[in-house]
Amino acid sequence: MRLIVQKYGGTSVGSPERIRHVAERLVATQRQGCRVVAVISAIAGVTDSLLKLARDVSAQPSERELDALLATGEHAATALVAMAVNALGAKAISLTGAQAGVLTDRMHTRAKIANVSPKQIHELLSDEYIVVVAGFQGQTAEGETTTLGRGGSDLTAIALAGALNADACQIYTDVDGVFTCDPRVVPDALKIEGIAYDELLEMAGAGSKVMQSRAVEFAKKFGVAFEVRSSLKPSVGTIAQAETANMEDVVVRGVSVERQQAKVTVTGVPDKPGSASRIFSAVSAANILVDMIVQNASGRNSTDISFTIHAADLPKVEQLLGPVVGDIGARRVSAQSAVAKLSAVGIGMRSHSGVAARLFDCLGRGGINIQLISTSDIKIAVIINEADVDRAAQLAHEAFGLGKQARVRKAP
Amino acid sequence: MRLIVQKYGGTSVGSPERIRHVAERLVATQRQGCRVVAVISAIAGVTDSLLKLARDVSAQPSERELDALLATGEHAATALVAMAVNALGAKAISLTGAQAGVLTDRMHTRAKIANVSPKQIHELLSDEYIVVVAGFQGQTAEGETTTLGRGGSDLTAIALAGALNADACQIYTDVDGVFTCDPRVVPDALKIEGIAYDELLEMAGAGSKVMQSRAVEFAKKFGVAFEVRSSLKPSVGTIAQAETANMEDVVVRGVSVERQQAKVTVTGVPDKPGSASRIFSAVSAANILVDMIVQNASGRNSTDISFTIHAADLPKVEQLLGPVVGDIGARRVSAQSAVAKLSAVGIGMRSHSGVAARLFDCLGRGGINIQLISTSDIKIAVIINEADVDRAAQLAHEAFGLGKQARVRKAP
């Protein structure tokens, strides 16, 4: 008998009606002859309300108490889903993370899953229960409640699927799956059927935030395949899995765009150890995330270093770097907002040459100027003017043959 | 070092400001040199919201899931109180009922406390923590969350005070304590300093709903003294305790009134076994609570049976009893609403004669007609017209020398 883990996020349980809808889906899955484990997030908005209360009573709530507080959101949602399943005449039982056997380390608010003991879940599944587990949480060896941080419910689902040796792990979201590009930008973008973990990680880092990177990393580490699919439609979604040989046949899996970026360039950085460190220490000390970092081959004992950040962080960064530039003896800082990042991602790049050339060529023919280039094993990313990014995505999407029309054209 | 258990209800933690106020009180108690255990209810309104959600997803939620759902209310409030204590620079830790060692039977939604293992609380108190425990809940031997039913947080506080051998158990409420009569009815009513468990039980059953009877019964069974006091004022409240010898010196401890009652009389009930049973089975099958039951000595093979109910239940009862009266061969049912119950309560009645006579005398002199009389070991209750009840309470209060003026008069 197939064992399926299904994860539902906060919007999927955002109202009594939606909770009943989730229950119907769980019962339908069981009636298809499956054993069913559901992982549930807190009802949308509940976690934020609890956080607000915490801030109202304490400027710096202890992380242990924050975990005790926030875990109640998933507990409540889980009990409600179990009730809704019962109301449909099926057997269901809700479990806290602790009861489900999710053991974590002691890092409150960002605990790591150390182990999952699925004995109780197995027993309940044998008794034909639909087992409804609170996501986002676990318990330390000492019995303290912990939470897993952002994307924690996805993590719970993937960890349970791994520990239970599930036949499928389905992550229900408000999107239909992972697309070759954002369909709002490229209308003939296609849903991707299968994607390698690394591709999904690079896509996630490039603005396609279907899943938190942490959950994908975990799935990759333990080899747990999962499907990202819509909680509103019955269609199949995108399966993320370990690479298979024929996955490399596709050169580029998808194109993603990230808007509202800013580019910062420090020119005339003395070519000696510690200069780059001074720059990025100053930025990270202010909790600002740096995305791309590019340094060109240096000439005449100095070099130029460019990096990208979110546009909203630009004023802060310019202010921070003013004194640093003087200290390290660099020439000056220049910055440009209203830029965007375009990435082409695919494990096929490892075995296909000329991918970068093909991207640069299509952009060049479209008259789109490339300001920065950065590549990894399976990704090519460029910074361009934000005004050009939709057209650039359409050109790249077409150049790599990703769209519906491209496939039709191939057919004859 | 004194060990104090303090219980705060839902209105006491009804806003961030009130939660901070509770925290201040806990810290002040600790700084007076006490070890402090706090028992906290869910924030006012939260339990009702959760119940509404449950009813929205299921017509008949399972009791196991209801417990899992409702227990989250106390979990959240407890974490918030602990945070607020931390914010004041004191050490605090929140515990679920399970973590606090509250073991119950398996009767979900109305579990009985089977045992309390206070080992962890003792350890935390030794480490100078203020220990904040979720009221109203416990855990079965199998690790299932249970709730204790109405008044459950009072029960938790009393059970913990007993298990910890606490020096004091303080139940914080929105009243100043237990009064000789409702001060809105009798302006010179006095706060009672000490009251016997049985007296409080009879007062509770007679409309002075300071505490649920279940919690008082539990305190009586295990000999746990507790104080009912105001969470808004610093004044001492009323201490409920086992009887002491000199407690009987006071003939009547207090007078209570219960309005909106209705009196039902079935006349000509055949004087044979089973007749009364038929009447009250019909009423209780409709989940209607009967308070007083009075049957007079019978004459000529038939008798009259009277009982009192809440006025709101009267139409239902009249409808129910119509057919029953025919079946058992009784003469008829008559009913009167707009009556009220007046009770005089005191363990001193056991050793003082003439208490009933004194009550009837004062009412008679006031021209107040008595419609029913019922007595117990320590209580005399009468049914009178609701319009007379305030005056009757004032007369009785004065007749038993309960008020401020009475004490002053005694003084000479």
Residues of B in contact with A23 (CB under 8 A): 57
Backbone angles phi, psi at B147, to 5 degrees: -120, 160
**Domain harbouring B26, CATH code:** 3.40.1160.10
Residue-number span of the structural domain to which A310 is assigned: 255-410
A153 with A259, same domain? Answer: no
- Decide if A8 contacts A18 (C-beta within 8 A): no
What residue type is B10 in one-letter code?
G
pLDDT tens per residue across span A294-352: 987 666 788 899 999 999 999 999 999 999 999 999 999 999 999 999 999 999 998 88
Given B148, B173, B198, which residue is the final one in a domain?
A: B173
In-domain check, residue A30: yes
**pTM passes above 0.90:** no
Instruction: Sort strands B379-385 and B372-376 into parallel, antiparallel or unpaired.
Output: antiparallel
Given B173, B193, B219, which residue is the final one in a domain?
A: B173
Q: Which helix (H) or strand (E) holds A368?
A: none
Mean pLDDT, rounded, of chain A: 92
Chain A closest CA to B394's CA: distance in Å?
A: 45
- Decide if A161 contacts A116 (C-beta within 8 A): no
Q: Is the pLDDT of residue A34 over 90?
A: yes
Chain B closest CA to A99's CA: distance in Å?
A: 8
Q: Cβ contacts of residue B387 below 8 Å, gap of 6+?
A: B338
B168 with B314, same domain? Answer: no
pLDDT tens per residue across span B215-263: 999 999 999 999 999 988 889 999 999 998 888 888 899 999 999 999 9
**Domain harbouring A381, CATH code:** 3.30.2130.10
Q: How far apart are CA B250 and CA B345, in angstroms?
A: 10
pLDDT on residue B411: 40
- Decide if A95 contacts A156 (C-beta within 8 A): no
CA B315 to chain centre: 27
pLDDT tens per residue across span A353-384: 889 999 999 999 999 999 999 988 899 999 99
Q: Do residue B61 and residue A83 have CB atoms under 8 angstroms apart?
A: yes
Query: Which is it for the CA torsion A188, A189, A191, A193, positive or negative?
Result: positive
Which among A23, A56, A83 has the least Cβ separation from residue B54? A83
Residues of A in contact with B69 (CB under 8 A): 75-76, 79-80, 83
Q: How far apart are CA B216 and CA B236, in angstroms?
A: 19
B154 with B303, same domain? Answer: no
Q: Average pLDDT, stretch B74-79?
A: 98
Q: How far apart are CA A214 and CA A210, in angstroms?
A: 12
Given B173, B194, B221, which residue is the final one in a domain?
A: B173
How many pairs of residues across A and B have Cβ atoms under 8 Å apart? Answer: 114
Nearest to B259 by CA among B291, B211, B235, B301: B291
In-domain check, residue B98: yes
Tokens found for residue A149:
């941080």
Which among A65, A68, A94 has the least Cβ separation from residue B65? A94
Give the residue on B whose Cα is nearest the Cα of A63: B83
A259 with A134, same domain? Answer: no
Q: Do residue B57 and residue A64 have CB atoms under 8 angstroms apart?
A: no
End-to-end CA distance of chain B: 43
Give the residue on B whose Cα is nearest the Cα of A49: B76
- Decide if B275 contacts B328 (C-beta within 8 A): yes
In-domain check, residue B364: yes
B280 with B406, same domain? Answer: yes
In-domain check, residue B214: no
Give me the number of domains chain A comprises.
Answer: 2
pLDDT on residue B213: 85
